[in-house]
Each structure stands twice: as C-alpha cells, then as structure tokens.
Structure 1
Amino acid sequence: MDRIIYTAAGGAARVLEQQAVISNNMANVSTTGFREQIAIYRSVPVVGQPGLPTRVSTVTATPSSNFEQGVMAETGHALDVAVTGDGWFSVQTPQGEAYTRAGELAVNQDNLLVTQQGLPILSADGAPVEIPDRGTVTFSNDGQISALGAGDNPNDIQMLGQLKLVNAPAGSLVRGDDGLFRTADGQALDVDPAVRMISGFVEKSNVNPAEAMVSMIANARRFEMQMKVIQDASANAERANSILSTNG
C-alpha cells in the first residue's frame, strides 16, 4: 500500500475513534452526575520485520475523565442528593462496589434505596439502605439518613444509618462500561468523613455542550482532510500509471 494512503487512512481511523468518544459525551449532556470522557492521540511504535525504530503510528486513548464538578440543579425532591466538592456515592453492582455522582435516588419494591438504574446505594457499613414502607426520608449533609413512617408521630423519627460517602485520589478511579467508576485494583474505598452532600439537588453532567459541538465539527474537518489526502494520492497513482502505460 502507498505509504501516504496508509498514513492518511490511519489518521482517519483515529479521528473516527475520537469522534465516538465526543459523541458519547454529547449524548450524556443531560445525564445526572456524568463525567466527561477525555480522548487523546498517542504514538505507538510500529513493530515487525523489517522495521525501523523511528517508525510510529497513532492510537486514540481515553486515559481519564474530567472530574470537575457539574452544575447543581435544585429539584426539591426529598430523594435527590448531590455530593458537594470531591467525593462519591457508593453502590452495589453484580461486579462489586462501584462509585457514582448520580444522586437521583428512588425506593424499589423491596423498600431499598436505589439509583435510577436500580442499583442499591450502600450505607457506611456496606449494606443496602432499607426505607420504612411509605416513609418520608431526609438526609443530613454528612449522609445521615432519617425517616418518618406514614402516620408516625413527628417525634418518632427513625435513624436508618449513613450513606457511604467516599473519596479517591485523582486518577485512581477507572470508568467501567456501565458508566460507573471503580478502583483500579478492585478494592472498596473507606468512608471519608470529610465528604459532604446536599439534598433536594442533583448534579448535572459536566460536559460543556458548546465545547463538545466545536470538537465534533473540528473532527469532521480533520476527517475530510484525511479523505482528501487519500483521494489526491489515488489520483497521483492513476496519473503515474497512465504515464507508464504511455511510455510502454
């Protein structure tokens, strides 16, 4: 294959891979607690025989996410909660403990406090949180959960425990295919008493729609440039073949 075509085709493939990441970010602009995924190009050596140590290719890598806090939106719903500053809610998944910033909670048919995906949210002791039937739930800023059952005396408030609020060093969490974050070694994090939250609010996605749209347009133009290089290389090859045929 002509080297210029190989180079341009490789560049076009990388642009398409990055476009997929940006498109996913755009699709989650309104997803509560979503963390923008970062895509970059990096060089990799071309291996094989024969080869030169100076020859490199490129790949699209998603090494991390943007962990900046999203905008807080007031909902007034008792089961909507949001972490302020650094920190995460803990949830139970079939693969073990995971972490999220999405605080749109609900009570399922088993009276367990769950996320919108139906995953049980964990208490500080690592257990699901059970809510009294038709109970009114309130949260304190340190995650303490209290409930008042239907028809109960206002003085008979039940303390249900405390949400497991954790924190992790920057870059130590890995995004899973389910959109949740986990530690790189799969170990559960300990409760961080410094993490704070508020109720009646949710945290919006931290994706900037305008920046994502500009990136999509810029990527589309890069792809067009790569295709133009391939077309020019093909046209040049045809001209060369024509000259050789004439001379022959």
Structure 2
Amino acid sequence: MLRGIYISATGLKAGLKQLDTVANNIANINTVGYRADITVNSGFEEKILNYAGKEVGKLEYGVNPDINYLDLSSGKYVPTGRNLDFALVGNGFFVVETPAGLRYTRAGDFQVNRDGYLCLPNGSRVLGEKGPIKIDNEELYVEKDGRIYNKERSRYIDRLRVVEPVDPVALEKVGGNFFVTAANNVRPGNALVLQGYLEQSNVDPNREYPALLESLRYLQSNARGLKVQDELLSKAVNDLGKVR
C-alpha cells in the first residue's frame, strides 16, 4: 500500500515538472529566439535497467522527471526591416558579455547603448572578433558571414562572433534567454546572419496547449490516486486496531 502512495507521489512530482515546463514554454511563445524545453520521464522499464545488479529491496516504482531536453529546431524568420535586427540561419549562437561572464543567445534584437556599443535590450554587449562591437549609432550593413560595415560599405567595423556547441546536450539555460556551457564546448559557427530579420520562438502552440491539458489531467489523476491510497491506509490502520 505504501508503494501505491509512492507511485502516486512520484507521478505528482513528474506532473508538476511537466506542467512547469509547458507553462514556461507558453509564457515565452513570443520571446525572440527562444528554445523550447521538452521533459522526458523515466518509467518502470528504465528503473529496472538502472537497478540491475543493485541490492535487493531497493527497487523504486512510478515515474521520475528526467532532465529537460532543448528543442534546438529553428523558429520562423520574420522580416522587420529594422537595421539592428538579426537572425541566425543554421546552428549557432550570438556571443554576449554579461556581468556573470559570456553567454550565448539566439536573440538578435540589438540596439545601441549610450556609449555606442551594440547590445541587447537588457544591456548585455554583443561581441565581435575584436571584442564588444562599437558602432557609434552608425547605420550598418552586415554580410551573411557576419562582417559588419558602415552603411556605405566603405569601412570595416568588426565581425559578429557566432559560435556553435560541440555537444548541444551540454548547453544549459541560465535565464534571460541565455545559455551557458564550458569554454571547450564551443567552436566557430557557420550559421548565416540575416539582417533585418528576427527568429521567433520555436514553441509550437499546437503541441504545448494539448500538453498543458494533459499535464493537468495527469496531476488530477495522481492526486485522486494518492487520496484513495491514503484513505485505504487509514482504514487499514483503524480496522487492524479494533478488538473483535
């Protein structure tokens, strides 16, 4: 009976993580360059394999929420006509400088700060091959390989630093639409740079809204199961204690 309670409890835990993941995806449906998360749960069969060769009596039941996997597929590319909007076509990330160190992002909605540096709306400076890119409010012309010129193409400024992960699984979300990974897990990227475009979030509403309802139903089902198990346990304890 206690195993029944454990199964329902682990189901609730997995359902809550799934609900949190789906809700976060939906909340970022309009976030530029956002990458959706996918939660995969391990079930009974995986547990059997994981416990092979371990002590007898240690086997668990139910499901456990595993790590979130990143959906690295591209979002839709939308023309904006804005000179400082950029999108990457292919695998790759822009590199930005933050107070916490280097971060990677697909968001290309850049602007110029008061010091003349290209940056994100949150102030993080965009990096080129020479370091932070300074343009002093000039209008830019950017080649598809990331080389930046003034509008007349008479002066070379820098080249957008674009990298790609060696192992995408090692990418970690750290908030603010940023990713982080070990320095030895990045290499120069070959993604094409589109000026005047933004990449939309790759969150698919047709997948997420049904998943939201499914998560809610899953939680309700496990909550009911936990309640039934609790009532049965209570009844068993009370009945066993009666003198007949």
The verdict on a shared fold, with TM-score over 0.5 as the criterion, is: yes
* 1:105 CA drift (Å): 0.4
In 1, distance between residues paired with 2:93 and 2:138?
Answer: 25
Query: Is 2:233 the counterpart of 1:237?
Result: yes
Q: CA deviation at 1:57?
A: 5.8
For residue 178 of structure 2, the aligned residue among 177, 180, 187 is: 180
Letter paired with 2:121: Q
Per-residue deviation, 1:210? 2.0
Q: Which amino acid aligns with 1:21?
A: T
CA contact under 8 A between 1:64 and 1:171: conserved in structure 2?
A: no
Q: Following the alignment from structure 1 to structure 2, what is the Cα–Cα distance between the partners of residues 58 and 38?
A: 16
In structure 2, stretches of 5+ residues that fail to align are none
Partner of 2:159: 162
State the partner residue of 1:61.
66
Structure 1 unmatched runs, 5+ = 149-153
> Does the 8 Å CA contact 2:76/2:202 hold for their aligned counterparts?
yes
2 CA distance for matches of 1:6 and 1:59?
11
Mapping for residues 1-248 of structure 1, pairs under 5 Å = 2-42=2-42, 52-56=57-61, 58-125=63-130, 127-132=131-136, 134-148=137-151, 154=152, 157-178=154-175, 179-183=177-181, 185-187=182-184, 189-192=186-189, 194-241=190-237, 243-244=239-240, 248=244
Using the alignment, how far apart are the partners of 1:191 and 1:169 within structure 2?
10
Cα displacement (A) at 1:32: 0.3
In structure 2, how many angstroms separate the alpha carbons of the residues matched to 1:8 and 1:98? 39
Provide the secondary structure at the position in 1 that maps to 2:116: coil
CA separation of 1:40 and 1:199: change in aligned 2, threshold 3 A:
same
Question: Hey, what's the Cα distance between the residues in 2 that align with 1:59 and 1:242?
Answer: 32
CA distance in 1, matches of 2:169, 2:231: 49
Distance 2:112 2:122 in 1: 12
How high is the sequence identity, in percent, across the aligned residues?
A: 25
Q: Which has the higher helix share?
A: 2
1-structure distance, mates of 2:166, 2:21: 24
* Structure 2: distance between partners of 1:53 and 1:244: 27
Q: 1:2 to 1:188 in 2, by over 3 A?
A: closer
Aligned-residue offset at 1:190: 3.8
CA-to-aligned-CA distance 1:160-185 (integer Å, 9 cap, x gap): 111012222352541232232222x3
Amino acid at match of 1:112: Y
Q: Which moved more, 1:84-93 or 1:218-227?
A: 84-93
Query: Normalization by structure 2: what TM-score?
Result: 0.85
* CA distance in 1: counterparts of 2:107 and 2:185, whole angstroms: 18
Range moving further from structure 2, 85-94 or 174-183? 174-183
One-letter code of the match for 2:41? Answer: Y
Deviation per CA, 1:42-69: give whole Å up to 9, x if none: 36679xxx96143356432234200000
Q: Give the whole-Å Cα distance in 1 for the aligned partners of 2:57 and 2:230.
A: 26
Q: Which amino acid aligns with 2:164?
A: N
CA contact (8 A) 1:64 1:174 kept: no
Q: How many pairs were matched up?
A: 235
Letter in 2 for 1:3: R
TM-score of the superposed pair, with normalisation by structure 1: 0.84
